[in-house]
Amino acid sequence: MIRPFACAIMLTGATIIPPVHAADCETDARAAMLDIAHPVPMRQEVTTEMAGQKIQSAALSTPNRRGMSLDAAGSPVSLWDGGSFYTTSDGGKTWTLLREQSAQELAAQDDNFRKQAEHSRDIACDYSIDLDGKTVHRFSLKYEMIPAGTPVQSTYWVDAQSGFPWKVVHAFGGANPSTITQHNTPEPELEIPAPDG
């Protein structure tokens, strides 16, 4: 569960979108998809729907590829720091390294993200719409994850001024379809703990 969840978090993007009169739908949508280095630290309230079940969780993440996932009760479950992924069995008091990616693996992952965006299709854009009283731009794209080939439709609701991604939905197809919905809140003072304490 950690790797798909982490990938979903990394797929979350934000970018400052130009005014509607200068908008280029496909360019803007692909930029929103690719900009995984979101502008500020954030808290993500996450709903995962799979096989008739709905799982509530949360995540904390910062622009420098660091983050931590929490269970429904708010207890730490996993932590990632660049390409290192950790788990905990005691609520975050101690961490166990699960997997570590090399610099080459991280570079290949970033390259795959770019390829996914380049080959995305059925792109739709709605500029300056309302989301819970906020003016946002909504972008939707379909693509296949590389290398798995899983079909995905991702939709981003980004702030019209700051580019902050207030909401993101990833709908995964294939043999085991699932949907991950993220409602995000800026947390400028957020710091992710170091796994070594």
Give pLDDT, residue 148: 93
Give pLDDT, residue 51: 92
| H/E segment holding residue 170 | strand 165-172
Instruction: Report residue 13: phi and psi, to 5°.
Output: -135, 165
Give pLDDT, residue 7: 44
Give pLDDT, residue 19: 42
Give pLDDT, residue 197: 65
Q: Domain limits of the chain?
A: 2-186
Contacts of residue 173, Cβ cutoff 8 Å, sequence gap at least 6: 150, 151, 152, 153
Domain 2-186 in CATH 2.120.10? The answer is no
Give pLDDT, residue 107: 93
Give the amino acid at 95.
Answer: W
| H/E segment holding residue 70 | strand 66-70
Give pLDDT, residue 36: 57
**Helical H segments across the chain, by residue range:** 2-11, 25-34, 103-118
Q: What is the pLDDT along the chain (197 residues), one digit of tens a residue?
A: 333 344 444 444 434 344 443 469 999 999 999 875 567 899 999 999 999 999 999 999 998 889 999 998 999 999 999 899 999 999 999 999 999 999 999 999 989 999 999 999 999 999 999 999 999 999 999 999 999 999 999 999 999 998 899 999 999 998 899 999 999 999 999 989 999 86
Give the amino acid at 113.
Answer: F
> pTM of the predicted model, to two decimals?
0.84
CA dihedral 116, 118, 124, 126 (to 10 degrees): 100
- Cα–Cα distances (Å) from 185 to 45, 72, 134, in that order, read 8, 17, 13
